[in-house]
Chain A
């Protein structure tokens, strides 16, 4: 009887400890991910250039200040829409180095074709 209760308590405790450790690990990972804020507004992204590290995970937090925009960069497999006034998050771990032109591919106005930014991966 006593042995059975002890076994249950011990098992429950170990599970709680494991969950706490896992949660802590995730928190550390989340804190480690670099976040870069980008603003999209007709007809430019700001900042216009960002630099990433090859193999290093980053979170791009892109906010549209006006209309719906696209955020498209095929080499990094980014193909997102940023609804008007909203913020989207894209987590990427670039595997290729280079300087890449990222474009708005959601027609956003008469100068849409010139809306781009550069993502450099070192």
Chain B
């Protein structure tokens, strides 16, 4: 796999996974 492809994969996955972790953390921070 080329370096630039890997970079885009890591960045995109990182953004999406980060967004999911943020949402989960917010839910857990203030449980209903």
Same assembly: no
Chain B interfacial positions (CB closer than 8 Å to A): none
